[in-house]
Amino acid sequence: MKYEKKEKKDKFNYKKRLGQNFLHQKNKVLEIIEKVAPSANETWIEIGAGSGFLTQELVDKVKKLHAIEIDREAFEVLKSKFSDKQNLDLINADIMQSDLKAIAGEHAGKIKVVGNIPYYITTPIIEKLISGRDFISRAYLMVQKEVADRITAKEGSKTYGSLSIFCQYYADCKVLLRIDRGNFVPVPDVDSAFIELNFEKKEPVPVKNEEFFFKITRGAFTQRRKMLMNNLKRVLELDEETIKKAFEAAGIDLKTRAEAVSILGFAKLADLLYNS
């Protein structure tokens, strides 16, 4: 695949402790813009604006863009670079300490979020976005390829697990682009993928108690090689006969492993075992 020449290095030092790996290939940035399809009436939040490559392509296509950047040096570069953009709100802050709903403010409809996020806090950021699904319609995130595979995996896959179920319970998840490490500066040790989390799920998963459902799905994968039955006996501290009856009622083979059970299968099993 042919790539455009990398742009000139930014006027600040990259910081490994912040997980900074910026996408500097314009053709890839344009592919991302094509995938997210921003429109002029939308409000967006960008996580980790960095050197502003994505910011540059997004800001003129939306009504309002709130760009969050934790690095003070990068933030100063962004302020200088985008001083003429009236619809851009630059924020020097830690995403994990930020009130996204307050940042988004009053507007018509839900907002959208996009970000090239630090890979070492991928799960906490996703959890934060999920907690804001009442005002966030979609999140588009650059994550480590292996994590993207886990998030979007279906039952029967070796990468299917509790993270898959957690994300897919709240959102329709899919990989939009796969991007190799050579497109980033500094070059990371892993390849990446750009994913979509659509919180306006077409088919919600109904359960009696979410906390109990996730207790089961987390416990189910504690020892992947063991039968699901054995994992749940240990996690739930229920007698074998009770669990057997729930398995039979849910149509789940007693010798199955967790990776073979769909999200709907886990939901049915959780409901049968709830308050047992």
**How confident is the model over 86-135, as pLDDT tens digits?**
999 999 999 999 999 999 987 768 999 999 888 889 999 999 999 999 99
- Residue 120, CA atoms < 13 Å, CB-side half-sphere: 8
pTM over cut 0.75: yes
Cis amide linkage into residue 124, ω under 30° from 0? no
Regions of the chain where pLDDT drops below 50: 1-9, 15, 18-19
Place of tokens 């010798």: 255
Q: What residue spans define the domains of the chain?
A: 16-198, 210-273
Residue 14 · residue 186 · CB < 8 Å: yes
* Phi, psi of 170, rounded to the nearest 5 degrees: -95, -20
Angle at alpha carbon of residue 15, lines to 95 and 191, rounded to 5°: 80
The pair phi, psi for residue 272, each rounded to 5°, is: -70, -30
Q: What is the pLDDT of residues 41-65, one digit of tens each?
A: 999 999 999 889 999 999 999 999 9
In CATH terms, 210-273 corresponds, of 2.60.40.10, 1.10.8.100, 3.30.460.20, 3.40.50.2300, to 1.10.8.100
> Domain 16-198: which topology?
Rossmann fold (3.40.50)
Round to whole Å and give the CA distance between 167 and 162. Answer: 9
